[in-house]
Each structure stands twice: as C-alpha cells, then as structure tokens.
C-alpha cells in the first residue's frame, strides 16, 4: 500500500509541480530581464529630457542671432537703429553681457554693447586676438553658413571664466560674437525650461563640471548623484544632471524586484500547499479503497462462518441424524445463535448505509439512561457470564433523564459491549457505569482487554478503520461499530471520551447533555 502511494506522490510532483516550479523560475529570471529593459527605457527617457534642454538653449540663442541678422540686413552696422534694437535685446536678456561684429578680414571690429565695461577691459584688440586664435573655427562657421546653416560655437574667454563667448556668422561676411554670462543664462533663460521638464518626478540640476559646484537645481536639495548626465552644448564647462524625485531609480527597481519575488514566493507556497493537499487527498482515497477491500473480505468472512454453521446443523437435523433430544436442542440453539449473529452484522451494515445516506431518523424523548442501561445489562448478563466474563453494572443512584433516542443509544451501547467482549484477552472483566453532573449524563463501558495505542485512538472512529495492533486477525469485525456510535452521539450533541492503555484495557464514555427545563 505504501509503495503505490509513494509512486503516486512521485508522479504527482513530476506532473504538476515540475512545470509550476519551472514557470516560477522562469518568472524570476524574466523579472530581472524586465528590470534591465526598464532601466534602459528609463535612462533613454532621461537622455531625451537632457537633449530637449540643449535643443531649447540652442533655439533661444538662434532666435537672438536671427534678430541680429535681420537688423544687420536692414541697415548698415554703423546705423544707430541697430544700436537701439540690440540695446533692447540686451536689456531683455541680462545674460548677454556684450556683443561684437567683425568683418572676415578682421579689419573692422566693433563692440556694440558692453554691460561690463568697468569690470572687463574689452576692446577691439582683445576681440581680434580671440578671433585670430579661432581662425579654423571661423572657417568652419563660414562653410556652414554657405550651406545655409548658422552654427553657434562656444569659445572660452581667457580673461573672464564666468563668460562664455558664442561665435556665429552674421550673413556671409560678418562674424558676430556674444559674451554670455554663464550663470545668468542658466538661471534666467533656462530655469523655466528645466522646471517644466522636471515635473514632480525628476530633479534637474546644472553644475560646473570642473568643481562640481551647483549652478541651478529644480529642487531645493542639492543633488550629487545623477541617473543621467550630459554636457550643456553651448556652455561646455557646465553639465546637466537628472535624478529621480524621492526614491531613486535603483530603489524603485529594487522595490519592484522585492515585490515580484514576494508575489512569486506566495504563489510558490500556495502551490506547495495545494500540492500537499492534493497528495493528502489522493493518499486518503487510496487508503479508503484499501480499507474498503479489507472490509469486503472481513464481512464475507463474517457472513460465511455463521452461514456454514447454520447450513451444517440444519442439514444434520433435517436428515434426522440426531438421535437424542439433548443434542437436537443444542443444535437448534447453535442455529439460533448464529442467525442472531448474522442479523447483527446485516443490521450494522444497513444502519451504517442509512447513516451514510442521511436516512437514519432519530426519535428523541425524555428517558432514564439508568433504566435503559439496566435493560441492556440484563440482556447480556447471562450470555457473558456463560462465556466466562465478570460483568457488572454500577448505576448512578439518581434518575438520569435526558432527551434520548432509546433505540440509537441501545445500538451504541451494544456496540461498546460487543467490542469490550471482542477485545478482551485473558482478563474477562467488563464493567458498565452510569453517572451525571449538573449538565450531562453518561454511561461508560470498561474492559481489561488489549487496549488501543495512541495512534489508533485517533482513527478508530473513522469508517472501516480497524486497529492494526492486538488480536485484530483473530477477532472479526467490520470497522463500522464505532463509526455508528460516534454518529449516534453526535446526533445527541454529546461526546465520546476514550481512555485506553495498551494491554491494560479501555474505557469508552458516552456523555449526553441534559436539556434543562426552564
């Protein structure tokens, strides 16, 4: 029996658990893959945001350049009109500190507007040297311009590090340069763009990449660690950094992984529980099937023995082979005894099937448990004493009234007495006692028989169950008696208590609650 169950357990694990465990392992693996994909997407998204900041600043500077170009085309650079208009542009954008125009031969250099006149000694000579030093760059700008593209090239100022010079072509022949205050440009021209892309999700910061000094941040708290970094195209000494508001990306991913793993673990535990439950059920079914087989063979055996005896003695009598009246009476007695035994077995099985089908009808009425037990005792006394038993009844002195189905309680009691007889060994002592307390009445049957092991005590009330120890093979039984007793006591809302010690004996007590009259 154990081996097939083990085999089933093995196949069960193979067929059901293996694919599920594979699935769980795959899920854990794909979880980390997903995290990696997510991280890449996230980083790409941030890169796009940084790109948009650069694009914005270039568009802004381009719009300034275009204005200057239009004015330059309209009038000659020396016209006072251009001075007036560019003055307005400077005033609206404090980041533009000064601007110069030069022809490509560098012979005509004009500083148009200089807000830092006092601070910086900006003159034609200085500008000329800047232009000369960036000769190749200017050549490139001219090529771009020829192809209709105005490119802005950042050039650093040796004399004032806080200034970024932006060179570009104004028409074919004029070079223009803007002196931009780096910090002002970031704080006044870029801040609104930075705020708009940061939303509530990100913190965008601009910092000086040479000394890590924070120039501007969309949050009050200064960030040092960024998920993504990039240069500011027009101010190469400045960098842009982006980080996630509150938790950083790693925290979010870690949380996601944890919750994923927790979810999968819960799933795995549930699967294991379900598998265990399934295995237990299959095991129980197999055991029941086995027990039923034993039951059929037990019952067949129980029926065959009395039938064979009845057949033998009836035939002997029928053929007139028994001469003496004494013998004849003895044989009649045996036939009667065996018939009784047969009908007991059949009744037990019929009662059990009635109970299983829910067709057993109880008829409750107020009865005295003492009186009922006394009657059964008397019925059994002669028979048991004949078999060599000491059979006693110690009744409670009081009347033990309770709501009882007398037929059912008699059946339960008879079953207990039958068992006490069956499972008594050499010490043939059976005692019945009744008693009560304020809430209940009880009857108990004690024997000095083979007793029941602790393990079996838990199972003997299950249908068809027969304890494997003791003299089970010598005693006949169906494994239904105690199931009937339990059902009957349950119907009376009572309980069964069992005290049993192997090789010492057992006490079965049936307790039935008393319905108090109000």
Distance between start and end Cα atoms, the chain: 56
Whichever of 477 and 494 has its CB closer to ligand ADP, that residue is 477
- Smallest separation, CB 349 to ligand ADP (Å): 11
User: Measured between alpha carbons, how far is residue 408 from residues 276, 360, 482 in Å?
Assistant: 39, 10, 13
Reduced to 3 states, what is the DSSP secondary structure of residue 2? Answer: helix
Which residues are CB-contacts of 246 (< 8 A; sequence separation ≥ 6)?
A: none
Taking the complex as a whole, the smallest distance from the CB of residue 463 to ligand ADP amounts, in Å, to: 8
- What minimum distance in Å lies between the beta carbon of 429 and ligand ADP? 12
**Could you tell me the smallest distance in angstroms from the CB atom of residue 272 to ligand ADP?**
34
DSSP string, 48-89: HHHHHHHHHHHHHHHHHHHHHHHHHHHS-TTSHHHHHHHHHH
Are residues 202 and 46 in contact, defined by beta-carbon separation less than 8 angstroms? yes
Query: What DSSP state is assigned to residue 189?
Result: I
Given a contact cutoff of 8 angstroms between Cβ atoms, the answer to whether 142 and 167 are in contact is no
Task: Kindly tell me which of 264 and 502 has the beta carbon lying closer to ligand ADP.
Answer: 502
Q: What is the spatial distance between Cα 500 and Cα 505, in angstroms, rounded to a whole number?
A: 6
376/480 with CB nearer ligand ADP = 480
The residue whose two tokens read 């007991």 is 344
Cα–Cα distances (Å) from 375 to 245, 379, 381, 393, 413, in that order, read 88, 6, 10, 11, 11
Min. distance of Cβ 309 from ligand ADP in angstroms? Answer: 20
Q: Distance between CA atoms of 514 and 99, rounded to whole angstroms?
A: 111
Minimum CB distance to ligand ADP smaller for 337 or for 457: 457
Q: Cβ of residue 307: shortest distance to ligand ADP, in angstroms?
A: 18
Q: Which is nearer to ligand ADP, 204 or 414 (CB)?
A: 414
Instruction: Tell me if residue 20 falls in helix, strand or coil.
Output: helix
Q: Which two tokens stand for residue 87?
A: 């003055």
Greatest Cα-to-Cα distance within the chain, rounded to the nearest angstrom: 162
Of the candidates 298, 296, 512, the one whose C-alpha atom is nearest the C-alpha of residue 422 is 298
Task: State in angstroms the smallest separation of the CB of 451 from ligand ADP.
Answer: 6
Query: To the nearest whole angstrom, how small is the minimum distance from the Cβ of residue 326 to ligand ADP?
Result: 34
Considering the complex, what minimum distance in angstroms separates the CB of residue 505 from ligand ADP?
7
What is the Cα–Cα distance from 377 to 385, expressed in whole angstroms?
11
What's the closest the beta carbon of residue 500 comes to ligand ADP, in angstroms? 7
Nearer to ligand ADP, 323 or 473 (CB): 473
506 pairs with which residues across the strands?
447, 500
Query: CA-CA distances (angstroms) from residue 407 to 10, 253, 351, 360?
Result: 49, 72, 12, 12
Cβ 359 to ligand ADP, closest distance in Å?
Answer: 20
Return the number of the residue (398 or 504) whose C-beta is nearest ligand ADP.
504
Give whichever of 206 and 452 is closer to ligand ADP, judged by the CB atom: 452
Q: Is 410 helix (H, G, I), strand (E, B) or coil?
A: helix
Decide whether 372 or 460 has the Cβ nearer to ligand ADP: 460
Contact by Cβ (8 Å): 376, 413: yes
Rounded Cα gap, residues 402 and 144, in angstroms: 113
Question: Rounded distance, CA 428 to CA 448, Å?
Answer: 7
Nearer to ligand ADP, 189 or 415 (CB): 415
Which among 482, 493, 487 is positioned nearest to 356, based on CA atoms?
487
Q: Which residues bind ligand ADP (CB under 6 A)?
A: 415, 419-420, 422-423, 447, 449-452, 460, 465-467, 472, 477-483, 506
d(CA 514, CA 369): 11
Closer residue to ligand ADP in complex, CB, 422/427: 422
Complete DSSP assignment for 83-120: HHHHHHHHHH-TTEEEEEEEETTSS-EEEEEETTTTTS
Nearer to ligand ADP, 227 or 510 (CB): 510
Q: For residue 247, list its beta bridge partners.
A: none
Using alpha carbons, select from 157, 87, 166, 94 the residue that is nearest to residue 120: 157
Give the nearest distance from C-beta 386 to ligand ADP in angstroms.
Answer: 20
For ligand ADP, the closer of residues 265 and 503 by Cβ is 503
Q: How far is the CB of 343 from ligand ADP (least distance, A)?
A: 16
């Amino acid at each position: 029996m154990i081996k097939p169950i083990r085999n089933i357990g093995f196949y069960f694990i193979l067929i059901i658990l293996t694919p599920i465990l594979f699935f769980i392992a795959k899920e854990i693996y794909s979880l980390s893959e997903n995290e990696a994909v997510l991280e890449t997407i996230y980083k790409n998204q941030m890169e796009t945001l940084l790109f948009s900041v650069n694009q914005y600043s270039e568009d802004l500077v381009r719009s300034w350049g275009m204005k200057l170009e239009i004015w330059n085309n309209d009038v000659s650079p020396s016209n006072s009109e251009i001075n007036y208009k560019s003055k307005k542009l400077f005033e609206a954008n404090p980041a533009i500190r000064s601007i110069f125009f030069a022809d490509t031969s560098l012979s005509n250099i004009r500083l148009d507007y200089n807000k830092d006149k006092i601070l910086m000694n900006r003159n034609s000579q200085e500008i000329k040297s800047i232009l000369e030093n960036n000769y190749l760059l200017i050549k490139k700008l001219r090529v771009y311009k020829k192809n209709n593209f105005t490119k802005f090239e950042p050039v650093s100022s040796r004399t004032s590090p806080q200034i970024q010079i932006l060179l570009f072509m104004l028409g074919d022949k004029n070079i223009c340069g803007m002196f931009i205050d780096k910090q002002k440009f970031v704080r006044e021209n870029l801040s609104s763009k930075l705020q708009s892309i940061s939303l509530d999700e990100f913190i965008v910061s601009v910092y000086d990449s040479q000394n890590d000094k924070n120039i501007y941040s969309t949050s009050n708290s200064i960030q040092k660690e960024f998920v993504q970094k990039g240069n500011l195209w027009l101010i190469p000494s400045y960098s842009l950094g982006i980080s996630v508001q509150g938790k950083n990306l790693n925290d979010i991913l870690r949380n996601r992984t944890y919750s994923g793993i927790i979810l999968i673990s819960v799933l795995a535990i549930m699967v294991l529980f379900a598998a265990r439950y399934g295995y237990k059920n299959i095991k129980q079914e197999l055991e029941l099937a086995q027990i039923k087989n034993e039951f059929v063979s037990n019952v067949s055996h129980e029926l065959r023995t009395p039938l064979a005896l009845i057949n033998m003695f009836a035939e002997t009598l029928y053929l007139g082979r028994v001469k003496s009246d004494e013998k004849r009476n003895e044989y009649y007695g045996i036939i009667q005894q065996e018939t009784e035994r047969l009908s007991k077995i059949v009744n037990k099985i019929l009662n059990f099937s009635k109970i299983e089908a829910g067709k057993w009808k109880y008829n409750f009425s107020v009865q005295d448990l003492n009186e009922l037990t006394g009657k059964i005792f008397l019925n059994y006394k002669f028979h048991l004493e004949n078999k060599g038993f000491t059979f006693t009844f110690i009744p409670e002195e009081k009347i033990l009234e309770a709501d009882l189905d007398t037929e059912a309680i008699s059946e339960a009691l008879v079953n207990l007495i039958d068992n006490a007889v069956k499972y008594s060994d050499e010490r043939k002592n059976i005692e019945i006692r009744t008693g009560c307390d304020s809430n209940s009445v009880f009857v108990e049957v004690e024997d000095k028989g083979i007793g029941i092991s602790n393990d079996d005590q838990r199972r003997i009330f299950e249908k068809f169950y027969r304890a494997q120890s003791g003299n089970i093979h010598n005693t006949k039984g169906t494994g239904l008696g105690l199931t009937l007793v339990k059902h009957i006591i349950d119907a009376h809302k009572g309980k069964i208590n069992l005290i049993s010690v192997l090789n010492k004996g057992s006490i079965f007590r049936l307790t039935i609650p008393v319905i108090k009259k109000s």
